[in-house]
Structure 1
Amino acid sequence: MELDHGDLLGGVFPAGGAVCRYGCRLDTDAIRGAWTVLAHQKIARHLRHLAAGLPAQRREAVAVLRQYAELYAGLPGTHTGGDDWMLRGRLFHQALTEAIWAVNIAHAARTLAAHSDTPGLDEVVPFLQSLREAAGAARGELLRKGEARSNYTAWLAAAEISCRCAADLINGAEPDAIGLAQEYGLAAHMRAAVHRDGWEWEASTYYHLFVLHAYLLALRGARPERLPDDLAAALGAMVSALAGVAAPDGTLPALHDGPYRREAQAAEIREVAALATQLFAGAPLKSVAQAAERDSAAALSADLDGWFADFPLPATPARHTFPDAGIAVFRSAGVHALLDAGPHGGGHGHQDKLSLYLYADDGTAWQPDPGQVPYAHRNLRTYYASTAAHPTFRVDEREQQPCDAVLDGDTGRCEQAYDGVTATRRVVTDRSYLLDILVLDAATERRLTAQLRPGTDLDVVAQGTDRARTVWGDGESAVLTGHHTSRPQAEFTVVTHPGTADDPARSRQGVDWSLTGRRAVFVSVYQSTETAPPIRRVSLSERAVHIDLADGTVAIHPIGA
C-alpha cells in the first residue's frame, strides 16, 4: 500500500520513517530515494502554481528554476545510479521520471514568460535546452530499440516539445506545439500507440490516462481546429474511451496494470479532465473528474486556464464496445459491467482473460479489477497480475498463459489460456437483470473453475445442490444479488483472497466454483436490489437458461456456445 509522504515541499523526510495506514514506519535508503524523487516532482508541480500567482510568487518560482538550472548544469551526462535495465536520466535514475519533471518545469517557465516582471528568466533557457536534449537522446535510444509505442516515448516527446515551447517564448518567438508534435515524434507516437477504438495499445486505464496526459500537456497553446484530423480524432477517441468505461457516477475501473486507488492518480485524472474540457465541448469527463475528487480535492494548477486557444472541438460520443482493446461495457438493472476479452497488453497485461467486472451506478465496486501494487513489491505484483486475483476462469488450479482473447459483440472467446481448452463468456442485458454465461470446453477431463472475486462483503446462501444465491455489499452502499447455477453440478466453495491492490492486507471472501469434466456451463444472473421485479429462481437446461421473475414472467435465453 502507499506510504504517507509527509511534507514533500518541506524537504524533510518524515521523522521515524514514512508511515502506512496501519501505523508501521519504514525508513530505508530505497524509501528515502523514492521520497526524494516525489519531493522533486512535487516542487515542479508547485512551481506551476507559483508561476501563475502573484509577483512575489513568480519571483520565487524564477529563483527556484535558476537553482535547478545551476544544479543540472553540473551533472554528468547520465545518472550513474539505478538498475542496468533503466533508460537513465541525468538528475533522476530514469529518463521517464526526468521527462515528467521536465514537462512541469517547462510549463512553469512558459507561464512566467508571459509576464514582464520576471527578470532572470533568460538564464533558464540553456537549462530548458539541456532538458530537451536529454529527453531527445533518451527517445532516440527507445526508437533504436524498436519501442516507438512505449509510454516513455510519449512523455519524452512531451518534454522536448514543452521545453522548446518555453524557450521559444522566453526568447520572444511564438511557440508552435502542433508543428513540434510532428518534429519531436508525438504525432508519430499517437498514430502508433492509439487503437482505432481509442484505447492506448496496452488497454490499461492507468497507462491510457498517463499517455493522454502527456499529449494534452505537450499541445499547450494549440488551436483545436488546426490539429490534423487524425490527431484530433485520436485524442477525441481516447477521451471517449474513458467516458465509455466509467460507471455512471464517473468511477473508472483499474483495468490491468495501474493503481486501484491513489491520491496522485486522482489528481492526474482531474487535470486530464480539465484539459479535455478545453479541447472538446460538453465537458466529456465531468463525471469522471467528480468521482476523482473523492480521492483528491486539492486545487488544480492555476495555469490550466486557457491551455488551448479558441473554441473546443465537438466531443466524440462515448462508446461502449472497444473491439481493438477487447473491452465491452454493459449497463442493465443498476449494474455496470465490463467484459475483458482482448490482447494481453504487453508488459502491463494480466493473466485475466474473460474477466467480468461489476460496478453499481454509484461506483460501488462489487467485483472490480483489483488493480496493481507499486512494482517494487514483486510477490504482490505477481499476485495482482495473476488469474487467481481476477473474476475469470481457471483450469487444473493453474494460471492462464499470457495470451489474447477475441471480443465479438457481447461474447468473448479465448482458446490460448490453456492447451486444449476453449472458453466463451457471453453477457446479456435485460431491463431487470444482467445475465453472465461462461462455457468451458476441454479436449480431455480437466478441473474447470469459475471465480468470483468481490471487492465488497459477500454473503453466500445455498439454495440447493444445483444452485446458490449471493448478496454483495457492505451495508453502506448499493447492494447486488446474484443467482448462480451450473451444468453439470459444481462445487460452490467460499475462499479467502487479498482485497484490492490499494490495501492487500485486507482480505475478502470470494468463490471458487469448480467441477471435474470436459464441459462446464456456469450461469450467473445479477440484479441490483433496487430493481423490480426481483428474480425468484434461475435454472439451466441443456440448451437454455430459464429465469423466473416475481411478477410471474419467465425469460429464456439460449446458452449459445
Structure 2
Amino acid sequence: SYKIPVSAEKPYTIGAWSWGVSGSGLGFYVRCMDAAGKGLPAPNEHYHRALSSRKRRWTRTAFVIQTPKGCASIQLWLHSYSGSKVEAFVDDLSVREGALVKEKKRPGMKPFAKVEVKTAQGARPSVLVTRQEIADIKAAAEKHEWAGRSLKAFLLGAERRLKTPVPHPDRGGGWYHWYACSIDGAGLTTVSPTEHKCRKCGKIYTGEPYDTVAIMGEHNKLGRNARDYGLAFALTGRPEFAKRAREILVGYADRYAGYEMHDVRGPSTRGSAGKVGPQTLDESCWVIPVAQAYDFVVDTMSEDERTHVDRDLLRAAVATIQRNNAGISNWQSWHNAGIASVAYALRDTELIDAAINGRSGFQFQMENSVTDDGFWYEGAWGYHYYALSAHLQLTEMAMRSGMDLYQNPRYKGLYQVSMQFMAPNRILPAFHDAHLAGGLAGPRFYEVAYRRWHDPMFAWAVNERKRGWDSMLYGALDVPKRDQPPQNSVNFTGLGWAVLRSGASRDGMYLALDYGPHGGGHGHPDKLGFSFYALGDFLAHDPGCVAYGLPIHGEWYRQTVSHNTVVVDGQSQEQGTGELDFYVASPRMGVVSARAADATDPVQFRRLALMTGEMLLLVDDASDTAEHQYDWAFHGVGEFASALPLAARAEAPGKDSGYQHIEGVTAAPAPGTWQADWVSPRRSLRLTMLADIATPTEVIAGKAWGPSSLGKVPMVLARRRAKATRYVAALHPYRGTAPEVKLSAKPIGDGLLVSAQTATSRTLALRGKAGDLCQAPGMSTDADFAAVETGDDVRNVILVNGRRLAAGRQIEISLDEPGAVALERLRKGLWFVQNDTDASRQLRLKHADCAPAKAYQLRGNRRAGELPLALVNRAWVLQIPAEAKVEIIVSGASLQQFRATTAQAEKEAAEEALRAKLPAFPVKPLTPPEGIKSASKAVTVQAEAFSGQGGGEVLISDKKIGVEGTCFLKWDAPGHWLEWSCDVPETAIYQLDLRYCTMQKNAERALLIDGAYPGEVGKAIPLPSTGGYANKTDDWRTATLGESGEPAPLYLRQGHHTIRLYNLRDPANLDWLRLAPWQGGK
C-alpha cells in the first residue's frame, strides 16, 4: 500500500476481508517507518497475521498493533509464505485508530539482561580457535588414533584444494530452495555451471534459477576454503596456505561493492536482499568463515590489504546485513552470528555489543525465541538446529574472547530437548517445515555441549557418534562413557507438543501430537495432527516439507489433508493455537486431550488419544450447528489392505487444498466397524474404526506424498457429512498375524465409555465430567476421564480431574480432593503410583494385593525416602506429595530391579526382532586335517564382483573415501544376500577377511561357504561400527571371521567355491572379501 500517516506509540486496528479461491498461506503484514521512510523494528508475531484461506465465503481478519517509538507512517503488504501459491480476493484493507477488536492476549517481548562485552587481547588466532587450541589439536593427534586420522584428512583436503583454486564468481548467488527436481522433489547436483542433475531420477535442468544457485555454492565453497586455508596455516605454518586465503579475501574486497543487490527472484533493494547471497540470511552464513579466515592471516597482510579487507569486505558485509533487523527469527540469529564473526575478527566492541546485547541480539533471542522447555519457537527441527548452529558459532567465538554466554540459563535447553523428544529409534518426527531428522544431530552440538556443561547426557551423546574433526575443533578430547538418559512421556507446553510413550525398548510405542501454536512462517495447518511409532519405526508420519521452490510444497505439504487430523469441508485449517484439556502419563499408559480451537472455527474439533500397553485409542469429536463434510485423514507406512469392497474412482476426492494430489483413489461405503492394515516385513499396523450410527461413512483410499525420503505412502479418508460426528478408532501395531481388536463405544449420559479388547488385554476408558458421577458397565468415576487396562489382573489406571474410580471388583481408588493420578501394577505386590497434581493428595487404593507393605518416594527409579503407608479395611492409604512418584511394595524385587529386568528383556526382544530369519542351513565346519598348512597367498574378491543377490539390490560406487577400486552400498535390508564365486589355487587353510564400513553399532552378517555354515561361528559375524560410511573420511576397517580375536580356520580344497553373505541386521558397505592365509594357532 501507500504510506499511511500514523502517530507513534498509539494503538491501531488493522483489518481486511478475504475470500479464498485456492491455496493457503497468505500473510498480511504491517511495516512501520520513521519520518525519513526508514523501516523500524517490530515484533513479527504482533505485526502480521495470515488471512483466512476459507473457500467460498468472506472472512474478516482484524488485529491491533501498537506503533513503535518514532513511527510516522505504516504500509500494509501481502506476502505468500515460503513461495506458496495463493489465489484470493482481498478487500477493505483498513487502518483505524484505537483498539477496536478484542483478541486473545499475546505475550509481549520479554526483557533481557545485557552482559559485559569483552574482546580478545594479544596473539591471534582468537575467533575459530586460539593458539592453545592449535597446540591441543596437535597433541590430540599424537594421543588418539581418530584424532591423528582426522588431522591428516583435514590437511590433505586443504592441500588438494590448493591445486584446484576456485575463481571468484562475477555475480551473487541464488536461493537454494529452487535447486530441486519438480518431478520427485529430490535435490540437484551440479554437473557443470549450466547443467544440474536430479539425484533421484536423473533429469537435467539448465538455465535459471538453477545456474545462479550453483553460483551460491561456489561462493560458499570459497568462504569455507579461505577458513580452511587459514586454519591449515595455523597448524603447519606453511605460507602457501596463508597466501591462498589472502587471495580469496582480497579478491572479495575487490568485487563486493560491484555485486548487485538481489533477492530470491532477482535484482531488489528490499531490506532482506543480499549481495553475495540472495538474502541477508545467506550473506550472514557466508561471511562467518570469511571473517575467521581473516583472523588467521591478518598478521601476514600488508597495511593496505588489511584496510581494504576490513573496509570493503567485512564492514561492507555487516552493513548489508544490518539493513534487515529480523526480530524473532532464525534469520536474525544468523545475522547476529555473522556480525559477531566480523566483530571478533576486527576486535570491534561496538559490533560485539550489537550482536549480543542489541535489540534483536543473542540475549534477546534466548528470551523470546526459545520456549521454556527448550524448543526453537518455529516448531520445526530443521530450523531448531539451523538456529542453534548460528548460536553455537556465536557463543564459541564469544568464549574465546572471555564472554561465557553458556551461563544463559535458557541456552542449554536447545541442546537437550531433541534427546527428550526423539522417538525410540532416535529419529525426530517431521513436524512443520522440517524433514525427518536425527535426535542426535551433527556431532559438534554435543561436543560443544559436553565441553561447556559437562552434563552426563551430553557425554552419552558424544560417544554415540563418530569422533572426528568436529571433536577436535569443538569438543573435549577425553569424554567418559555414560548411560543413555531415560526417555519419558513429556508434555512440552511451550511449543504445544504432547509426547506419550509405552515401553522402554526400541520397540516401544511413541506418539507426538501437535496442539500448540501455528509455528510462524514455517508452521503448517495441522492442529491435533500426530506421528505414531511402534516396533522399531514410525507407522504414521507427519509429512514435513520439500524444497520451498516446488509447487507441491504449498499445494500438498502445507495443506491439512496431508496430516493425520480431521479436515472440515475439504479446506485447510486456519492458522491458530490449540487448547490442551489435560495430559497424564505413566511409563505404560498415557492420555492427552486437546482442542483445535479457532483453527477449525466454527467447527469445534476435539481429539483424545489414549496409549495403552498394546495400542493407541483415538476419540475425535467434531461439531457445529451447520452441516459439514468431515474427513478423518490417516497416512500409514506399508502396503495397504482392507476387506472393504474398494472400487476405483476416476476423480480425486477434492479439487484443491491438497486433495488434487491424492492418486490411485478407491472408495467404498463402510457398513459398520471397518478395518485396514498397513503391512511391512518387520512391522505392521491395524486400524479399526467404529461406525457412526447416525451418519454413513465413506472410506476413501489412495496414495500421496509422505516425508520426502519415503515418497508416496498409502492413506485413507473416513468421510462423513453431518452437523456433528464422533470418530472412535484403534491403532494396533503388530508383527506376524494381524490381531483381532474388539472395539466398542457407548454413550453414558453426556459421557462416553470406550472398550478395546484383544486376546491379551482389555481397556475401559470413560470420559465424563468432573464432579458428576458417571456409572457405566464395569466402571464408574466422577472424573473428566478415567481408564483401566487389565490382563490377568489390573495393569494400568489413569484418573484425570476426579476423586473416585471403580472398575468392578478389581480395583477402587479415591482421592481426598480432585486430582490426576496414574497407577501401574508391575507384578503381584508391586505398584507404581504417580501424582500429576500440583498439590499433595491422599490416595486410597483397594485391590486384592493390599497387604502390609512399604512405600517409597522415587527419584527416577531409585528410592529417595520412605513414606507412611497405612492398611485400612484392606486398602492402602497414602499421602502422596505434589507431582511425586511412589513405589508400593509388599515383598520381592524392588521397582528399580523389576524395571531393569523388564527393560533388558524388552531390549533383547527388540534386538532379536531386527535380525533376519534365515532358513535352517546345514552346519559343516571346515576343520583342517592334520598336516595341512596355511595358504601361501591370498585370494581377493571385489565386493562388486558378486554372481547373484536376493532380497534387495546393492548400488556400485567408486565415490567412497579410501575405497580400493569400487565397492557397493545399500546393503540395508535384513535377509538381503549376495553370493560370490571364486577359484582357490591350492588346498590349504584360509581365513576370511571382510573390508567394510558402517555407522551402525550392531551390524551382523551370516556366512555360507558352499551352501553351509562353516561352523557355528558363521551364523553371526559382528561388524562393529567404523564411525561412518566413508562419505567424508576413510572409515574402512577389516573384520575377520573368528572368535575371541582368533581367526577361524577354513580348510578349502583347490578348485571352485561359493561364498554367500546374508545381512542379518543393519546397513554396511563392502569393499572386498579376502581368503587370506590363516594367521591363527600362534
- SS of the equivalent of 2:499 reads strand
Percent identity reads 19
> How far off is 1:182 after superposition?
2.7
- Go from structure 1 to structure 2 and tell me whether the alpha carbon gap of 1:479 and 1:57 turns closer, same or farther (over 3 Å shift): farther
- Go from structure 1 to structure 2 and tell me whether the alpha carbon gap of 1:438 and 1:266 turns closer, same or farther (over 3 Å shift): closer
> How far off is 1:121 after superposition?
9.2
Report the equivalent of 2:794: none
Q: Contact between 2:739 and 2:758, CA under 8 Å: does it hold in 1?
A: yes
1:330 to 489, 493, 500: 500
Q: Contact between 2:333 and 2:390, CA under 8 Å: does it hold in 1?
A: yes
Deviation string 1:271-301 (CA, Å, 9 cap, x unpaired) is: 434433433434646898899x8xxx99654
Report the equivalent of 1:352: 526
Deviation string 1:359-381 (CA, Å, 9 cap, x unpaired) is: 2463x232222111211113433
2:280 paired with 1:95? yes
2:403 paired with 1:233? no
Once the two structures are overlaid, the 10-residue window that deviates more, 384-393 or 477-486, is 477-486
What is the distance in 2 between the residues matched to 1:305 and 1:3? 30
Alignment of 1:121-520 (within 5 A): 123=305, 127=309, 133-134=315-316, 136-138=318-320, 140-143=322-325, 147-168=326-347, 181-182=356-357, 185-220=361-396, 227=404, 232-260=408-436, 269-282=442-455, 284=457, 300-301=469-470, 304-306=473-475, 320-332=490-502, 334-360=508-534, 362=536, 364-408=537-581, 409=583, 410-462=592-644, 465-475=671-681, 477-488=682-693, 491=697, 493-502=699-708, 506-520=711-725
Alignment of 1:26-65 (within 5 A): 26-53=205-232, 55=236, 59-60=240-241, 63-65=244-246
1:558 to 758, 762, 766: 766
> How far off is 1:485 after superposition?
2.3
2:758 to 549, 552, 558: 549
- SS of the equivalent of 1:416 reads helix
- Go from structure 1 to structure 2 and tell me whether the alpha carbon gap of 1:528 and 1:301 turns closer, same or farther (over 3 Å shift): same
- SS of the equivalent of 1:547 reads strand
> How far off is 1:473 after superposition?
4.7
Structure possessing the higher relative contact order (Cα contacts under 8 Å, 6 or more residues apart): 1
Report the equivalent of 2:890: none
What is the distance in 2 between the residues matched to 1:120 and 1:444? 75
Report the equivalent of 2:193: 13
Q: Contact between 1:78 and 1:89, CA under 8 Å: does it hold in 2?
A: no
- Go from structure 1 to structure 2 and tell me whether the alpha carbon gap of 1:443 and 1:458 turns closer, same or farther (over 3 Å shift): same
Larger radius of gyration: 2
- Go from structure 1 to structure 2 and tell me whether the alpha carbon gap of 1:158 and 1:192 turns closer, same or farther (over 3 Å shift): same
> How far off is 1:166 after superposition?
3.0
Deviation string 1:473-511 (CA, Å, 9 cap, x unpaired) is: 532x4333333224346525243243235269x432201
Q: Contact between 1:432 and 1:531, CA under 8 Å: does it hold in 2?
A: no
Once the two structures are overlaid, the 10-residue window that deviates more, 206-215 or 97-106, is 97-106
- Go from structure 1 to structure 2 and tell me whether the alpha carbon gap of 1:556 and 1:40 turns closer, same or farther (over 3 Å shift): same
- Go from structure 1 to structure 2 and tell me whether the alpha carbon gap of 1:152 and 1:65 turns closer, same or farther (over 3 Å shift): farther
Q: Contact between 2:284 and 2:338, CA under 8 Å: does it hold in 1?
A: yes
Unaligned runs of 5+ in 1: none
- Go from structure 1 to structure 2 and tell me whether the alpha carbon gap of 1:75 and 1:533 turns closer, same or farther (over 3 Å shift): closer
- SS of the equivalent of 2:283 reads helix
What is the distance in 1 between the residues matched to 2:767 and 2:737? 24
1:164 corresponds to which letter in structure 2? A
- Go from structure 1 to structure 2 and tell me whether the alpha carbon gap of 1:460 and 1:166 turns closer, same or farther (over 3 Å shift): farther
1:166 corresponds to which letter in structure 2? A
- Go from structure 1 to structure 2 and tell me whether the alpha carbon gap of 1:94 and 1:219 turns closer, same or farther (over 3 Å shift): same
TM-score by length of 1: 0.81
Q: Contact between 1:448 and 1:514, CA under 8 Å: does it hold in 2?
A: yes
- Go from structure 1 to structure 2 and tell me whether the alpha carbon gap of 1:303 and 1:164 turns closer, same or farther (over 3 Å shift): farther
- SS of the equivalent of 1:158 reads helix
> How far off is 1:96 after superposition?
0.7
Q: Contact between 2:271 and 2:324, CA under 8 Å: does it hold in 1?
A: no
- Go from structure 1 to structure 2 and tell me whether the alpha carbon gap of 1:157 and 1:329 turns closer, same or farther (over 3 Å shift): same
Q: Contact between 2:226 and 2:249, CA under 8 Å: does it hold in 1?
A: no
> How far off is 1:307 after superposition?
8.4
1:3 to 161, 181, 187: 187
- SS of the equivalent of 2:633 reads strand
Q: Contact between 1:62 and 1:120, CA under 8 Å: does it hold in 2?
A: no
* Structure with greater proportional strand content: 2
- SS of the equivalent of 2:291 reads helix
> How far off is 1:49 after superposition?
4.7
> How far off is 1:19 after superposition?
2.9
Deviation string 1:412-445 (CA, Å, 9 cap, x unpaired) is: 2112123321111122222222222222122222
- Go from structure 1 to structure 2 and tell me whether the alpha carbon gap of 1:416 and 1:6 turns closer, same or farther (over 3 Å shift): same
TM-score by length of 2: 0.44
Report the equivalent of 2:253: 72
1:150 corresponds to which letter in structure 2? S
> How far off is 1:250 after superposition?
1.4
> How far off is 1:136 after superposition?
4.3
Report the equivalent of 2:96: none
Q: Contact between 2:423 and 2:533, CA under 8 Å: does it hold in 1?
A: yes
Q: Contact between 1:393 and 1:448, CA under 8 Å: does it hold in 2?
A: yes
Once the two structures are overlaid, the 10-residue window that deviates more, 55-64 or 249-258, is 55-64
Equivalent pairs counted in the alignment come to 530
What is the distance in 1 between the residues matched to 2:330 and 2:224? 20
In angstroms, what is the RMSD of aligned CA positions? 4.1
Q: Contact between 1:538 and 1:548, CA under 8 Å: does it hold in 2?
A: yes
Deviation string 1:114-151 (CA, Å, 9 cap, x unpaired) is: xx9x84498467536656535544554333xxx41021
- Go from structure 1 to structure 2 and tell me whether the alpha carbon gap of 1:548 and 1:235 turns closer, same or farther (over 3 Å shift): same
Unaligned runs of 5+ in 2: 1-184, 584-591, 646-669, 769-783, 785-1082
- Go from structure 1 to structure 2 and tell me whether the alpha carbon gap of 1:19 and 1:140 turns closer, same or farther (over 3 Å shift): closer
Q: Contact between 1:251 and 1:288, CA under 8 Å: does it hold in 2?
A: no
What is the distance in 1 between the residues matched to 2:249 and 2:764? 69
What is the distance in 2 between the residues matched to 1:440 and 1:239? 38
> How far off is 1:219 after superposition?
0.9
Deviation string 1:190-233 (CA, Å, 9 cap, x unpaired) is: 2221122222222121111111111011111555997468x632
> How far off is 1:358 after superposition?
1.2
> How far off is 1:453 after superposition?
1.5
